Chains A and B, each alone.
Chain A
Amino acid sequence: MVERIVIVDDEEGILALLRRVLRAPGREIEVYPTAAIALAAMRRVRPDLVITDLNMPGMTGYDFIHAVREQFGPRIGVVVITAFPTMVSDADAVENGVGAYLRKPFTDLDLLRSTVSEVIEASRRLPDEEMPERYRRHLAAADTAARRQRAGLSRADAVLDRISDAILIADRQGRLLQVNPAAARLLGVDGEECLGRPLRELGVDAQLRKAILDPAPPDDAEHRKVGRRVVLEASGRTCDVTTALLVNADGGAAGIFAVIEDVSAEVRVQELKHHYLTVLAHELRTPITSLTNFAAVFEKLGFAPMTARQQQMVTGVRRQVQRLEHQVDKLILLARLERGDFGARSFPFEVGPAVEQALATCQADALERGIAFTIETPAGGAPIVASGDADDFRRALFEVGENAVKFTHNGGSVRVTVETDARDVFVRVVDTGIGIEMRDQATIFSTFKQLEDPLTRRHAGAGLGLGLARRMLEAVGGRIDVTSAPARGSTFTLRVPRASRPACGTPPAAAASIAASTAGTGRGKPEEVTA
């Protein structure tokens, strides 16, 4: 026996979805955009079941049900599609001749199918009789309630339609239940054709599909909030996918709600910013190099015997250029930090010269302020060789040294020692400065904390440096620690792993910021110098 189902809804998407979902052998499904057309068709062929929306222009769903009962009696099953599940209880519904209410948006397509079958079965068992008066009253009351809520629903739909973020709902099997126009565009699907079909079948990007259907584990609080970043293979666009589980009344997972934001433009801006920063750094370094050179020659030769004042000016030029250089370095470090770019270059390097180079400027600053600044390296023995990025090590130590001098009173002292054990090299910077409160000791290394809140941070000048220092050291398997007591001073300990092989190429001494002296090739190796 053929089952006939008539579906009435003014939303084409819903019609398409229901037609696809309910399709079955031995079943004929007809869909109509208005109740009046459906009624006319039903007079030709009597269906077993009607599924109708309530909110429709022209004849409403309740008028339609009313007419169905008047004209065809109770033996046609009726299923109502509603977005307002609280309006009528299920018990009322059955008593009053509505077999079931289907709640929009549909989250469980299997439930939808089984409900429809059950209502058809139940209505077949009913005797033919007149529609009770009570049912008439029920329909009228529900109709009024529906009209009142209609305005609210259309506002929500309008928002969904116009919002630029892609929003979709899928069931647990990954079948699309609802997509807004932005989502349809992004997924490259037809907004109505796609409903009820699995994402896989629709040719949705594999990464995107995964991000929607396999949300990050719930215990990962940060990811749950941020969602997942996906680069679409075909278009190259970058999308942030945020998902939330839809939960049934009984607490079970009903489906997935996903918001997909196309962040390609932001990503591009980030890349441009990074590129600009890199180019800017290059552009700045080039003139700084010439200025440094000129100042050095001037300081060394002058043109005639220089007066003390002239000498002072030349030294001033050199020192200020140096300051500029440190700021440029900081810019570059920031760019690298942004990219998580620390620790990429790891070579054996000699610690002694690196320490002296790193601290040369700090030492000069200390001298000017009457602070005793001493560096103690183990006398004699083989050179201490560490493994890491020599540039970054020097930079980290410079930040610590600069910090020590900055927070030490005039006349105080900063003492730097280099020690080793079997595995590591320890560089300690001990100052007699203002010290750090216990509660601040943990946070002085957190770069972003300081970046976020520059006005309220306690160590005004410490800024970014120590955080950068920690990142740079940790990237090569080292670390940095502090012990301190307020008003008694601080001890910063930098630890870097010792190298298993010797450093090639002796790093030039007394240079605060020259590049990593890399492994030499053949010529120029220190052993050849002495050979």
Chain B
Amino acid sequence: MTEALRGMDRSVLIIDDDQWIAMSTAMVLEAEGFTVHSALSGPDGIEKARVLQPGVILLDIMMPGMDGWETLERLKADRQCSAIPVIVFTAREHREGPGKATELGAVEYFRKPFRPDALVQTIRRHLDAASAVAG
């Protein structure tokens, strides 16, 4: 899958073990015209990212088993997924969170609860940036 093809994609992959968050966030994004896929675990998320090649990944940190940090590391180490912008979002106060997110290659760090419109804007911005690079 090339940058150009993926860059045109307006789809978002949500990786979050909380299905209510996943569902409600999907509804917000779908209302804005995005195509949304969900994964309820890190490994499932990585698998779907490889196959679906979303324009942006929304990644939760606190997940049982493989947590968001590890998932992020694996995504960035995976040749098929490393170019997909990852937005980290977490409900937990992490003092080192924003710094760690940046270090591991995330493009944004959101704290839950977030303003839905702010999330939408941020996703758009990263999709546009990707299209600009691709185009």
A509 to B105, CA, bound (A): 23
Q: At the interface, yes or no: B34 with Cβ under 8 Å from chain A?
A: no
- A297 & B31 in contact (Cβ 8 Å cutoff): yes
The answer to whether A293 and B111 touch across the interface, beta carbons within 8 angstroms, is: no
The listed residue (A282, A335, A505, A514) touching B114 by CB distance below 8 A is: A514
- Whether B91 and A286, one on each chain, are in contact in the complex, defined by CB atoms closer than 8 angstroms, is yes
- Contact pattern, B 10-25, Cβ under 8 Å of A = 1, otherwise 0: 0000000010110111
Query: Taking A508-B118, A523-B85 as contacts, is the C-beta distance between A518 and B102 under 8 angstroms?
Result: yes
On whether the beta carbons of A296 and B116 are closer than 8 Å, the reply is yes
Interface string of B103-127 (1 = CB under 8 A from A): 0011111111111111101100110
Query: CB distance B93 to A286 under 8 Å?
Result: no
Is A520 engaged at the interface, CB distance under 8 Å to the other chain?
Answer: yes
Partner of A391 from the list B31, B107, B111, B132 (CB cut-off 8 Å) is B111
Contacts known (A293-B25, A511-B118); A524 close to B113, Cβ less than 8 A: no
Q: Find out whether the CB atom of A524 lies under 8 angstroms from the CB atom of B85.
A: yes
The reply to whether B93 and A289 contact each other, CB–CB distance below 8 Å, is: no
Q: For the complex formed, measure the closest distance between the CB of A507 and the CB atoms of chain B, giving whole angstroms.
A: 9
Contact B98 A345 (CB under 8 A): yes
Asked if A524 and B31 make an inter-chain contact with CB atoms under 8 angstroms apart, the answer reads no
Query: Are the C-beta atoms of A301 and B111 separated by less than 8 Å?
Result: no
Report the minimal beta-carbon distance from A394 to chain B, rounded to whole angstroms: 11
* Chain B nearest Cβ from A435, distance in angstroms: 33
A332 to B90: give the CA distance in the assembly, Å.
14
Check A289–B113 contact: CB distance below 8 A: yes
- Chain B residues with Cβ below 8 Å from A523 are 83, 85, 107, 126, 129-130, 133
The answer to whether the Cβ of A510 comes within 8 Å of any Cβ in the partner chain is yes
At the interface, yes or no: B128 with Cβ under 8 Å from chain A? Answer: yes
Bound together, the chains give a CA A71 to CA B24 distance in angstroms of: 102
Taken residue by residue from 289 to 317, chain A's Cβ proximity to chain B (1 for < 8 Å, 0 otherwise) reads as 11111101100110000000000000000
The answer on a CB contact under 8 Å between A518 and B113 is no
Q: A297 to chain B: which residues have CB within 8 Å?
A: 24, 27-28, 31, 116
Cα of A509 to Cα of B124 in the assembled complex, Å: 13
- When the two chains form their complex, are residues A516 and B20 in contact, meaning their CB atoms are under 8 A apart? no
Question: Does B18 contact A286, Cβ atoms closer than 8 Å?
Answer: yes
Residue of A nearest to B103 (CB): A521
- Please determine whether A332 and B93 come into contact, CB atoms closer than 8 angstroms: yes
**Taking the nearest CB of chain B, how far is it from the CB of A279, in angstroms?**
9
Interchain CB contact under 8 A, B110 and A514: yes
CB atoms of A528 and B95 under 8 A apart: no
> Is A278's CB within 8 Å of the partner chain B?
yes
Taking a contact as CB atoms closer than 8 A, the residue among A281, A292, A344, A513 that contacts B116 in the complex is A292
Question: If the complex has contacts A292-B116, A519-B102, are A524 and B107 also in contact, measured as CB distance less than 8 A?
Answer: yes
Q: Are B121 and A293 neighbours in the complex by a CB distance under 8 Å?
A: no
Interface pair A524/B129, CB less than 8 Å apart: yes
Contact of B118 with A509 in the complex, beta carbons under 8 Å: yes
Q: Please tell me if the beta carbons of A518 and B91 are within 8 angstroms of each other in the complex.
A: no
A499 → chain B closest CB, angstroms? 15
Q: Is the CB of B113 within 8 A of A288?
A: yes
* Residue pair B101, A293 in contact (C-beta under 8 Å): no
Pairwise interchain contact A521-B21, C-beta atoms closer than 8 A: no
Smallest CB separation, B18 vs chain A (Å): 6
How far, in angstroms, from A300 to B115 measured CA to CA in the complex? 14
A531 beta carbon closer than 8 Å to chain B: yes
List the A side residues contacting B113 at CB < 8 Å: 285, 288-289, 292, 325, 513
Contacts of A292 in B (CB 8 A): 113-116
- C-alpha spacing A282/B122, complex, angstroms: 23
B-facing residues in A254-304 (Cβ within 8 Å)? 278, 281-282, 285-294, 296-297, 300-301
Q: When the two chains form their complex, are residues B93 and A514 in contact, meaning their CB atoms are under 8 A apart?
A: no
Cα–Cα distance between A291 and B62 once the two chains are bound (Å): 19
Chain B residues, CB < 8 A from A513? 111, 113-115
Asked if A515 is at the interface of the complex by the 8 Å CB criterion, the answer is: yes
Over the window 74-105 of chain B, the binary record of Cβ atoms lying under 8 Å from chain A Cβ atoms (1 yes, 0 no) is: 00000000010100010111010111011001
**Set of chain B residues within 8 Å of A293, measured between Cβ atoms:** 21, 24-25, 27-28, 116
A520–B101 alpha-carbon span in the complex (Å): 9
Residue of A nearest to B113 (CB): A289
Known: A289-B24, A290-B24, A297-B27. A531 touches B85 (CB 8 A): no
Min distance, Cβ A318 to any Cβ of chain B, angstroms: 10
Kindly supply a per-residue 1/0 record for chain A positions 321-338, scoring 1 wherever the CB is within 8 Å of any chain B CB and 0 otherwise. 000010000001001100
For residue A308, give the distance in angstroms from its CB to the closest CB of chain B: 21
List 9 A-B pairs, minimum CB-CB distance, nearest first. Answer: A511-B118, A293-B24, A515-B111, A511-B115, A518-B98, A296-B116, A285-B91, A508-B118, A289-B113
Since A294-B27, A296-B117, A511-B114 are in contact, a sample of 16 more A-B pairs with Cβ atoms closer than 8 Å, ordered by chain A residue number, is A281-B93, A286-B91, A289-B21, A290-B20, A293-B24, A325-B113, A335-B93, A508-B122, A515-B98, A517-B109, A518-B99, A518-B109, A520-B102, A521-B106, A524-B125, A529-B125
What are 8 of the A-B contact pairs (CB < 8 Å)? A289-B24, A296-B117, A332-B93, A335-B93, A510-B115, A515-B114, A518-B98, A518-B102
